Structure 1
Amino acid sequence: MREVLEALTATRGVLVAALLSEDGFVVEEARKEGAPEPGLLSARAVTVLGTAKALGQTLGQQALEEVMVEYPEGALLLAPLPGYHLLLFLEGVRSLGRARLALKRALPQLWEALA
């Protein structure tokens, strides 16, 4: 798992990659020097995912694939995994395309590591 997270943080613009438990605890993390501590983001990030899932259910959507939240200082990309959540913190929205592509490529490895 650690190798997959490190590969994600090797993507230009990705500052943090963290695997979170469903209740918001950091299970594993990789981050660049000076990046925010994943533990400071994790519990609230899980709340964001829960809210997004509930909104999707209200709209009749079957499943949530990912959530992106943009801030002036960076962007947060969240993706649900079986029994876990993945958190990526990006330098900004300019990095979103690269981060999403890296995430799509990493998903099979993530699923395998969690099986």
Structure 2
Amino acid sequence: MAVREVLEELGEVRGVEACALVGEDGFVIEGMQRENAPEVDFLGGAATSAMASARALADHLQRGAVEEVMVEYPEGPILLVPLEVGESSYMLVTLLDSVQSLGRVRFQLKRVVPRLREVLV
């Protein structure tokens, strides 16, 4: 199974508008989006900065590793999930249609994230 297939499976979950696998350098490795969804190709750098800020905050507060970052907007939240695979760092970025989709999408992420790690090894 390839990264694209895993992302497409996540994209089939009701409430997911777009998702992307982003490398630690901020470049989008692979992404998918529904029709009329925001472009994912240009959000890697901003998402990487948001994750770096969350990690700095976690370090300062001594809260442990960041497991997920959610940024909520009127048009729907964005979830950032860090993925450590061996020596490499990635991030799964998921754009949702509304806050009401959070539970369903988070539940699916519990299945998808381990599969992404397997594919990335």
Offset, 1:74:
1.3
Offset, 1:94:
0.8
Offset, 1:45:
1.0
Q: 1:111 aligned to 2:113? A: no
**Could you state the TM-score of these two structures normalised by the residue count of structure 2?**
0.91
Offset, 1:80:
0.5
One of 38, 41, 46 as aligned partner of 2:40: 38
Structure 1 segments (4+ residues) deviating >3 Å = none
Q: Indicate if the aligned counterparts of 2:19 and 2:95 stay in contact, CA closer than 8 A.
A: yes
**Could you state the TM-score of these two structures normalised by the residue count of structure 1?**
0.96
Superposed CA RMSD: 0.8
Give the number of equivalent residue pairs.
Answer: 115
- Secondary structure of 2:115's counterpart equals helix
Partners of 1:70 and 1:29 in 2: CA distance:
21
One of 13, 22, 25 as aligned partner of 1:11: 13
- Unaligned ranges ≥5, structure 1: none
Q: Which residue does 1:97 correspond to in 2?
A: 103
Q: How high is the sequence identity, in percent, across the aligned residues? A: 50
